[in-house]
Amino acid sequence: MKKLEFLNFLRKNLRHFGSNNVNDAISYYDEIINEKMRDGLNEYDAVASLGEPNKLVADTASEMVENNKVKNPSRGALYILGILFMSPVLFPLAMVVLTLYIVIFTVWISLIIAFGATSIGLVIGGLGALVDWNGGASLIILGCCLIGAVILFVLFWVTVKYGKDFINLITIKLVRKIKNINQRGTK
């Protein structure tokens, strides 16, 4: 790969991580390649000495996510995942991460649906008790159902509201793991 080709590859694959971050990384690698060529390496060898481009991109991107330089860590992680999938060496790792992600998202969505649906169900059930009028007992059932519905609604709301933060938190941890595995693989 020639230098320009390599730098374009970086730019293309890091484009979702903020233009300041990307320009900085590019000028760093540009400088390194120039210095290596000044030291006598030809252009191809200088680029090749940096290692597999996909790995380098994944490393750089992980660092940006981990250091909170990216606005939306979850989205950043998905891009990193895409990069991992492009590299044959990192493909198994990508599969593991993708599976984990699907599990986390599924659990999150299931919780939201479960809390929401049960809450609505309880309200309907309580009203049903009114229709089937049975004196005081009906009112007690309605009361219990409404209390249950409120509790579940709060749980529903908390899951929706803080779920995203939680997933972002997990993402940052996950990305850190990926990076460590990635670096171990470089040796």
Per rule CB under 8 A, is residue 90 in the interface with another protein? no
Per rule CB under 8 A, is residue 34 in the interface with another protein? yes
Per rule CB under 8 A, is residue 180 in the interface with another protein? yes
Three-state secondary-structure class, residue 46: helix
How many residues make contact with another protein (CB under 8 A)? 24
The two three-digit tokens of residue 149, written as one number:
């519905």
Part in contact with another protein (CB under 8 A); list of ranges 48-56, 72-80, 133-141, 152-160: 48-56
Question: In degrees, to the nearest 5, what angle opens at C-alpha 62 toward C-alphas 13 and 67?
Answer: 125
Contact with another protein (CB under 8 A) among 20, 71, 88, 184: 184
CA–CA distance from 128 to each of 121, 123, 125, 133 (Å)?
Answer: 10, 9, 5, 9
Helices (H), the chain: 3-14, 19-38, 43-48, 53-66, 73-86, 91-131, 136-186
Part in contact with another protein (CB under 8 A); list of ranges 32-40, 85-93, 104-112, 152-160: 32-40
Contact 127, 95 (CB under 8 A): no
Contact with another protein (CB under 8 A) among 7, 36, 79, 152: 36
Per rule CB under 8 A, is residue 31 in the interface with another protein? yes
Point out which residues bind another protein (CB under 8 A). Answer: 24-25, 27-29, 31-32, 34-36, 38, 50-51, 55-56, 59-60, 63, 67, 180, 183-184, 186-187
